[in-house]
Amino acid sequence: MVSKTSLPPKAGAVRVRRDWLGKGRVRMAKTALISGITGQDGSFLAELLLDKGYEVYGIIRRSSSFNTDRIDHLYQDPHEKGTRLHLVYGDLNDSSSLNTVLRQIQPDEIYNLGAQSHVRVSFDIPEYTGEVTGLGTVRLLEAVREAGIRPKFYQASSSELYGKAVETPQTETTPFHPRSPYACAKAYAYYITLNYRESYGMFACNGILFNHESERRGETFVSRKITRAATRIKVGLQEKLYMGNLDAQRDWGYARDYVEAMWLMLNAEEPQDYVIATGVTHSVREFIERTFSYLDLDWQRYVEIDPRYFRPAEVDLLLGDASKARRELGWEPKVNFDQLVKLMVDHDLQLAKQETEATEMHHVPVAKARRESI
């Protein structure tokens, strides 16, 4: 259902709306705009909203190689009738593109998921992370005001805000202590979202989401780095897995469950901030053990520690209490830790087998690891 389309020409709000929909057509379905639609969460959210009958617009960045893998299965020839997923070019670092997109699409709901989202990388590019992950949010909020529209606004806030956590489990009232440039940028985004709710009466919510993973997780995040490496080791494509701090503990859930919470927040009576978590925490070591044991491998033979993967400041323990979301939104996670590991391993084992076949068929050299840099 994707149409890669350029935006209609700039014009007054009413005329654009009519141009956009085609002469004589009245917009009945709700319209959502997603920044970060090419990311893990963006792809699951797009599916959810399309299932609910929404017209979905996604902001994508220009890239020299295709970056829409996660949403390509939603593709539909734009010449066909009924296309409901549209991709528009824009960037959270570029106010004018956001102003244009907002003025022309006039969405009912905005999900701001776009970010430089890697904590370790944020230490390497702190300024850029601040621009996109922090200031990007105010650019989008200002574009809403500039367009003179009143959409509901979801901000992808993070459990990284708790950082050196002062209490466990963490709730909506636990004080923040960010431990990375990423978390500092997310703190700005959190407060500016709250500020626009209080200053302008916007229906703006922060979802404080704890770690959530899936078969679509970026391969440099720890869960997917582990499942990708272990399955490649299983089929003989890789020999070692180099890791950083195995003692860190995270509250890991399944991304598909978490995007549902985003939608529930924007469709509640009142705009509020919510913690979304499973309420169970595991160490990185446990994630490794569970993955390798599911594959009948002894992890200690394959895993080595490389100090380069340690962070200048670590977040030791995250464990969320999502009671408020359960009570007020009726939200609950459906996938537990074991099921999460299993579904990721099953998926990546297939991928590793395909990789082996492709390697044999085309006689290409085997990469020793997927990505060693982070």
Rounded to whole angstroms, the maximal C-alpha distance in the chain is 67
- Map 44-67 to HEC letters: HHHHHHHHCCCEEEEEECCCCCCC
Q: Figure out which of the listed residues 89, 286, 309, 343 binds ligand G4F, where binding follows CB under 6 A.
A: 309
* Least distance between ligand NAP and beta carbon 133 (Å): 6
Q: Measured between alpha carbons, how far is 269 from 81 in angstroms, rounded to an integer?
A: 34
List 47, 55, 109, 160, catalytic entry: 160
Cβ proximity to ligand NAP, 113 vs 229, nearer residue: 113
Give catalytic status of residue 223 as yes or no. Answer: no
159 binds ligand G4F (CB under 6 A): yes
Cβ proximity to ligand NAP, 243 vs 276, nearer residue: 276
Cβ proximity to ligand NAP, 4 vs 27, nearer residue: 4
Cβ proximity to ligand G4F, 18 vs 324, nearer residue: 324
Q: Specify the amino acid at residue 71.
A: I
Q: Is the peptide bond before 169 cis (omega within 30 degrees of 0)?
A: yes
* Least distance between ligand NAP and beta carbon 170 (Å): 13
Give the residue nearest to ligand NAP (CB): 39
311 binds ligand G4F (CB under 6 A): yes
Residue 214 vs residues 40, 241, 242: alpha-carbon distances, Å: 8, 20, 21
Q: Figure out which of the listed residues 86, 152, 225, 290 binds ligand G4F, where binding follows CB under 6 A.
A: 225
Cβ proximity to ligand NAP, 33 vs 243, nearer residue: 33
Sequence-distant (6+) residues with CB within 8 A of 209 are 156, 157, 158, 159, 258, 261, 276, 277
Q: Measured between alpha carbons, how far is 105 from 147 in angstroms, rounded to an integer?
A: 10
Is 282 in a helix, a strand, or coil?
Answer: strand
Q: Figure out which of the listed residues 130, 163, 169, 244 binds ligand G4F, where binding follows CB under 6 A.
A: 244
Residue 233 vs residues 78, 87, 224, 298, 339: alpha-carbon distances, Å: 41, 37, 14, 11, 21
- Residue with token string 């699409």: 105
Pick what 250 binds: ligand NAP, ligand G4F, none; C-beta below 5 to 8 Å, kind-dependent: ligand G4F
Site for ligand G4F in 245-304 (CB under 6 A): 245, 248, 250, 284
Give catalytic status of residue 372 as yes or no. Answer: no
Cβ proximity to ligand G4F, 110 vs 275, nearer residue: 275
Q: Which stretch binds ligand G4F (CB under 6 A): 26-34, 244-252, 263-271, 352-360?
A: 244-252
Site for ligand G4F in 109-128 (CB under 6 A): 117, 119-120
Is 132 in a helix, a strand, or coil?
Answer: helix
* Least distance between ligand NAP and beta carbon 214 (Å): 9
* Least distance between ligand G4F and beta carbon 355 (Å): 20
- Map 170-208 to HEC letters: ECCCCCCCCCCHHHHHHHHHHHHHHHHHHHHCCCEEEEE
List 43, 157, 158, 223, catalytic entry: 158
Pick what 116 binds: ligand NAP, ligand G4F, none; C-beta below 5 to 8 Å, kind-dependent: ligand NAP
Q: Figure out which of the listed residues 211, 214, 231, 278 binds ligand G4F, where binding follows CB under 6 A.
A: 211
Name the residues that contact ligand NAP, by CB under 6 A.
Answer: 35-36, 38-42, 59, 61, 63, 67, 91-93, 113-117, 132, 156, 158, 209, 211-212, 218
152 binds ligand G4F (CB under 6 A): no
DSSP annotation of 72: G
* Least distance between ligand G4F and beta carbon 187 (Å): 12
Identify which of 268, 259, 255, 253 has the alpha carbon closest to the alpha carbon of residue 330. 268
Question: Can you read off the two tokens belonging to residue 336?
Answer: 């537990």
Q: Specify the amino acid at residue 167.
A: E
Q: Measured between alpha carbons, how far is 213 from 215 in angstroms, rounded to an integer?
A: 7
Give catalytic status of residue 182 as yes or no. Answer: yes
Sequence-distant (6+) residues with CB within 8 A of 328 are 268, 272, 274
For ligand G4F, the binding residues (CB under 6 A) are: 117, 119-120, 158-160, 210-211, 220-222, 225, 243-245, 248, 250, 284, 309, 311, 314-315, 318, 374
So which residues are the catalytic ones? 158, 160, 182
